[in-house]
Structure 1
Amino acid sequence: MKRAFSVEQPDFELSPLTGMNRGHYIEMAKYLLERAFLHINSINDPLTFPPVPGKTYPQPNDPDWRWRSLEFEALERTFTLAGPLIHVEPEVEIKGIKLRDYYSLQMYNAFTPGHPNSLPLPEDLPDSTYQFTCEFGGLFKTLLLMPDTIWTQFPEKQKEEMVVTISKWAHHRTTQNNWRIFNVVALSFLKKYGYEIDDELLKSHLLWVASYHSGNGWYLEQTYNYYSISLFIVYTTIWNRTFGDEFYPEIAEIIERSARKLMESLTSFFGRNGYINMWSRSICYRTWVSGAFPVAFMLKDGALIDAGFARRLCSGSLLQFVTREEFYYNDIPSLGFYGKKEYMVQNYSCPASPFLMFLPFICLALPEDSPFWTARENEGFWEGLGEKTKTVVLENPGLVLANHGKSGASEIIPGKVYYDDPNYSKLVYNTCFPWEDHDPTGGTSMEYSFRSLDPRDVRGDDINFYLTGLKVDNSSEKNKAFSISQSMVFNGVKGGVVYRQAFIRKPPNNGVGYIIDLADIIIPGGVIRVDRTRLAFEHELTLGHFGLPHINGEKAVVSRFNEGNKEVITATIKGRSVALIAYTGWDELDSVVHANRNAEADESTVVFARKKRLEKNPAMEIMITVMLHKTDDSGWTQEELSPIKEFEIMDVTPVFSTMGAKITLSDNKVYEVYFEEIDGHRRS
């Protein structure tokens, strides 16, 4: 077997950019399932994968139901590939095993009480929420769309036997927001095929789901993240076409409207080559957001995305991963991003979890004459972008998207962040420079890292600074480490400047003494940062650029120089380079080699700016920093490293705000950064 997938006999006439046509999607599905089926020997073996050491489940001493959960997740999530494959090739076999027969048998065993591989029923477990609910949602989403795969093959008696388990889990307790979709899908499937359900419960879940729509096509999950696309748009659009339009047309219209709104900005989340951005939790699901591309062709009034552009991005995102040898671990997609990385996954994931990344294979449910399959690949808006940068502002989820024609990279600039979590808290996420984990020694990539030098923190007393003299959960040992922002708010876009605020310590205990007011001026190939510190006590601060992985152990080449009123540091690896330019507000520029932080390599280089302020009452400061990136091997030119012609810092601005700046670019374009009433413009 090939060590990674490759496109054989590429169709460059239809797909000049990826070579991928419908047949290649089928070949890719078969290849991935062939690797997965190396873990079984016969049709009677339940599909399961070796546990991965670390924090993911199952753990060695887990109860039996956790192992059943692993098996069910493996069965359901590989069906994300197998279902569409059966739909287009009903007799398809993998390793001599007919897929339709295998999944029919294993589903029947799982849903028939008393079988050694049957799932526990909710009443057999403590009253809580369980992973089984999630997998039921995934399974019946596929079966709603493609019931011919296995459901219609079961005799009525077997269906009735299975419905007992299906119904109990469909009606069982769920958790907030996106999980309600799983119950909705399972309950709807039962109702569609004539089985009795609690209609009021289904309606209640639907109203709850619709209530989460926030605008711009986005839904509030635990925060704003990819779940908004993959579950709230992909799952529910399938639900619309297969059930909702008939039974709940008014709620279906809410979903339809939000899906159409999402499509207006969807393509801006992807790089020119189709790469997805490593952002938000559950990153081991990778390409599941690409499932929105085939869904665009399931909407009522036609797609809002050019079909050739949609398939180009969908194909490119899949090829981003499946063509890499390091992507596979135990012959299946690894728990990580490009390869197995413990720090990138959550404890609710198991070895089978990454198979959800193949949600885009619902494209095989589209007819062969769908424009998704017949249109010639193209690069959409990228073709006319040249070296300019296109920006999209999504006010409601607080996201700004930047598409850099100069580098082909797409960026997500988040504004509504509720966690000190690198999945969310980075200043920007870039498709060509996947994020790095936080380093408590400082210099964290694309973060402001803060360390208090306040003697009260150094001593570990009086955490609230309320003159109590008490030691209240203030660890002097913990305070020695750098921390990242605890949360972030979006303050809007004015005069071409993106305003946000990073909270280094959260209210109410800190008052307003730990705020960095952020102002981004997006320029081709990067950003000019004009940020204002309101850090009330002694502290140390670093600002890191994107991390550069040491591919095959080859270190980044770091260069630095001073010129006029600026200091410059650059770092370069093959095919990629970054430049950090400090104009004011910093003490020095430096670089650091991180271990076990980067998505692509075990070591990486980060260039960063650093400052210490040891006054008891530090003044507010403006920090002007330029962060540039490249995705080729060309050297940095003098022109590229001189984006600012001049700047003026003002104690009091013309709009009567304090500590602002006027920035004149090398092309004479002027930006005014005034932080006017910024605290009153918070949108969290």
Structure 2
Amino acid sequence: MKKAFEVQNPDLELSPFTGMSKKHYIELAKYLLERTFEHVGSIETPLTFPSVPGKTYPEPNAPDWRYKSADFEALERTFTLAGPLIHIDPETTIKGINLRDYYSLQIYNAFTPGHSNSLPLPEELPDSNYQFTCEFGGLFKTLLLMPETIWFGYTEKQKDEMVVTISKWAHHRTTQNNWRIFNIITLSFLKKYGYEIDDELLKSHLLWVASYHSGNGWYLEQTYNYYSISLFIVYTTIWNRTFGDEYYPEVAAIIEKSAQKLMESLTSFFGRDGYINMWSRSICYRTWVSGAFPVAFMLKDKTLLDAGWARRLCSGSLLQFVTREEFYDNDIPSLGFYGQKEYMIQNYSCAGSPFLMFLPFICLALPDDSPFWTAKENEGMWDTLGDESKKVVLESPGLVLVNHGKTGTSEIIPGKVYYDDPNYSKLVYNTHFPWEDHNPQGGTSMEYSYRSQDPRDVRGDDVNFYLTGKKVENDSEKNRSFTISQSMFFNGVRKNVLYRQAIMRRPPNNGVGYIIDLAEITIPGGVIRVDRSRLAFEYELTLGHFGMPHIDGQKAVVNQFELGDKKVITASIPGRRVALITYHGWDKLDSLVHTNRNAEADESTVIYAYKKRMAKNPPMELMISVMIHRMDNQEWTEEELSPIKDIQIMDITPEYSALGATITLFNGEKYEIDFKDIDGKRSC
């Protein structure tokens, strides 16, 4: 028997695509907790998961509070599943243990000073911020929405005992942006139920959070990422309905307006089948962004999303993971994406962290007659998209979303990236081709990878040696490896062409000599790239396609050939194919087998383009390529591999810009590639 979730007796009348009705959500939550409670011996047993070796916490020999933090994270985040089940049925039992009794007891123990399982108080630790604050916010977000699950069951004496710990953490130091929401949630819960708080502190946090709103429904986190949806929209909308509308209506109105705006583009983040995109940090949280679907029906205007499409995407995103055996490790969600992958996680995660992915189960707090539950599943705009590709431009976060009707995949194209991190810095992220880690040997998936051949770098001199006469921290050993873009700028969409810039070196050595100007034309199932290299000194460069995982050890099949005036390389695995076509500015095409970089398999194949320029002052060049994908086993047609009919390269464009082109597609469409004033159009 498959050791993963299977939809039993699917409701194909209500949900013809996933079979998932409210009953199945309840069954899935119970299934996940049944496996989780393999780690619980009795109602007295604290929820402790085995530590995961590697970068996650708690590390060996960590202080006691780190172990307390990991246990509290496990307790709180599994309540993301347990709370909604208790809300539906207070007598729900898992492995013979009543959920309400279990979580009531364990949370009481955690919050009661002096108990052996109690959390430390802030004053017992060095003055800093701690993971405890995050988990308090998560717990009281659930209890604001569903207080009857456990809070109403405590005696007044028990509540008073617990409030000491709750209040101290609610008022404690927090981090600069999204964590303020955790303090807001916890302080609001205390105030709502009659406990004294610092009202000025709550107001201050609220104004800070409101100040981060950037537009398009997005908020600035460390950079733009899924936190903007899951925390700044999901958590705060729950806060609105349960507290904010009454106590802080003006701030609530800001949140309401931003949430309504977000709904305009939310569905474009998901593939046709509901698949989510592996993008940004904390990828082990996976489906937490799907929590925005039930939240849409907590807004004042409940017609912003097609309910049948919303449930179809929400269900599909959950099934993307819970139906896979490799998803589970020690009977709980693994620290990775599809399976346990050390190189894809952050050091602030622990074994219990992935349970935040079950944030969508707040849908069980929606009434039975909510459109989320009653509407028949449908596929929204995909039904009419055909083979076309739809593009949504979000200027404020600098994101472009593409839905490929031909392949059913969706893409996130990032434009405001501050550092070299594969979670953010890829040229594009695709729902069905999860990203690969960087390969210092070149050929990195969906990145321009750069290696300097400047003799000053090779020697280890400062590149400005001729000005200073000094060697300044230029690591020749490090320079032997390929590096990816250090930051990305968003330069806007003009005449249906997306412009960005990849900055290949940071200051003080970037000047204006390490820039790749990016121009992209969306086509069905892919993109035409007309990128301008402004790389001032000797260099090597690679451009990689999506990684092709070797599922069950089966290697990708690679073919390479010439077709007229262009070079073509393809790679295929069962059910997926990619092709890379180069027209201008590249020396050759090649492929590499990577180890321990792919989300789906330990080995993968990447096809890539390569060039090497050894002139002391290389000229600017246009690098013209096509990158396409498909989600079947059909052979590529000559038409698919020949999307460009004509290329006219211009030293000076009609708009008086250096080095552009006119691209004519085989369907007759014409695109003007003009980098005029691109440096002045940067936003980040």
TM-score of the two chains, using structure 2 as the length reference: 0.99
- Secondary structure in 2 matching 1:86: helix
Letter paired with 1:397: P
Give 1:473 deviation, angstroms: 1.6
CA distance in 1, matches of 2:531, 2:6: 45
Give 1:540 deviation, angstroms: 0.2
Give 1:510 deviation, angstroms: 2.1
| Structure 1 partner of 2:182 | 182
Give 1:611 deviation, angstroms: 0.2
| Structure 2 partner of 1:30 | 30
Does residue 94 (structure 1) correspond to residue 102 (structure 2)? The answer is: no
Q: Is the 8 A contact 2:447 2:484 kept in 1?
A: yes
Letter paired with 1:411: E
Give 1:392 deviation, angstroms: 0.2
1:231-286 deviation line (CA, Å, top 9, x unaligned): 00000000000000000000000000000000000000000000000000000000
| Structure 2 partner of 1:257 | 257
Does residue 373 (structure 1) correspond to residue 376 (structure 2)? The answer is: no
CA distance in 2, matches of 1:248, 1:362: 23
Letter paired with 2:80: T
| Structure 2 partner of 1:587 | 587
Decide which moves more: 468-477 or 359-368.
Answer: 468-477
Aligned pairs (5 A) from 1:1-150: 3-150=3-150
Does residue 191 (structure 1) correspond to residue 191 (structure 2)? The answer is: yes
Letter paired with 1:339: G
| Structure 2 partner of 1:349 | 349
| Structure 2 partner of 1:681 | 681
Decide which moves more: 561-570 or 405-414.
Answer: 561-570
CA distance in 1, matches of 2:122, 2:471: 45
Does residue 631 (structure 1) correspond to residue 631 (structure 2)? The answer is: yes
CA distance in 1, matches of 2:494, 2:89: 54
| Structure 2 partner of 1:598 | 598
CA distance in 2, matches of 1:145, 1:182: 15
| Structure 1 partner of 2:322 | 322
Give 1:2 deviation, angstroms: 5.5
CA distance in 1, matches of 2:653, 2:563: 28
CA distance in 2, matches of 1:657, 1:506: 25
Give 1:668 deviation, angstroms: 1.0
Give 1:457 deviation, angstroms: 0.5
| Structure 2 partner of 1:616 | 616
| Structure 2 partner of 1:168 | 168
CA distance in 1, matches of 2:670, 2:287: 39
| Structure 1 partner of 2:291 | 291
Q: Is the 8 A contact 2:535 2:618 kept in 1?
A: yes
CA distance in 1, matches of 2:464, 2:294: 52
Give 1:565 deviation, angstroms: 1.3
Aligned pairs (5 A) from 1:240-255: 240-255=240-255
Does residue 359 (structure 1) correspond to residue 359 (structure 2)? The answer is: yes
Q: Is the 8 A contact 2:407 2:631 kept in 1?
A: yes
Aligned pairs (5 A) from 1:510-589: 510-589=510-589
Q: Is the 8 A contact 1:538 1:617 kept in 2?
A: yes
| CA shift in 2, pair 1:610/1:2, >3 Å | closer
| Structure 1 partner of 2:388 | 388
CA distance in 1, matches of 2:181, 2:109: 25
Give 1:347 deviation, angstroms: 0.1
1:449-495 deviation line (CA, Å, top 9, x unaligned): 00000001001111455622322221111100000000000000001
Aligned pairs (5 A) from 1:427-442: 427-442=427-442
- Secondary structure in 1 matching 2:488: strand
Gaps of 5+ in 2: none
Letter paired with 1:490: F
Q: Is the 8 A contact 2:411 2:431 kept in 1?
A: yes
| Structure 2 partner of 1:411 | 411
| Structure 2 partner of 1:456 | 456
CA distance in 1, matches of 2:466, 2:193: 64
| CA shift in 2, pair 1:476/1:236, >3 Å | same
- Secondary structure in 2 matching 1:182: helix
CA distance in 2, matches of 1:2, 1:174: 44
CA distance in 1, matches of 2:50, 2:479: 39
1:387-427 deviation line (CA, Å, top 9, x unaligned): 00001000000000000000000000000001100000000
1:136-193 deviation line (CA, Å, top 9, x unaligned): 0000000000001000010010000000000000000000110000000000000000
CA distance in 1, matches of 2:484, 2:336: 22
Aligned pairs (5 A) from 1:502-513: 502-513=502-513
CA distance in 2, matches of 1:370, 1:100: 25
CA distance in 2, matches of 1:131, 1:446: 33
CA distance in 2, matches of 1:470, 1:570: 47
The root-mean-square deviation of aligned C-alpha atoms, in Å, is 0.7
Letter paired with 2:135: E
Letter paired with 1:146: M
Q: Is the 8 A contact 2:465 2:471 kept in 1?
A: no
Q: Is the 8 A contact 1:464 1:510 kept in 2?
A: no
- Secondary structure in 1 matching 2:483: coil
| Structure 2 partner of 1:656 | 656
Q: Is the 8 A contact 2:283 2:345 kept in 1?
A: yes
Aligned pairs (5 A) from 1:303-322: 303-322=303-322
The percentage of counterpart residues that share the same residue type is: 79
Gaps of 5+ in 1: none
What count of residue pairs does the alignment treat as equivalent?
684
CA distance in 2, matches of 1:592, 1:635: 22
CA distance in 1, matches of 2:267, 2:152: 36
Letter paired with 2:197: I
- Secondary structure in 2 matching 1:626: strand
| Structure 2 partner of 1:209 | 209
TM-score of the two chains, using structure 1 as the length reference: 0.99
CA distance in 2, matches of 1:200, 1:680: 41
- Secondary structure in 2 matching 1:672: strand
Letter paired with 2:430: N
Give 1:345 deviation, angstroms: 0.2
CA distance in 1, matches of 2:406, 2:575: 14
Q: Is the 8 A contact 1:463 1:473 kept in 2?
A: no
| Structure 1 partner of 2:493 | 493
- Secondary structure in 1 matching 2:103: helix
- Secondary structure in 2 matching 1:349: coil
Letter paired with 1:104: S
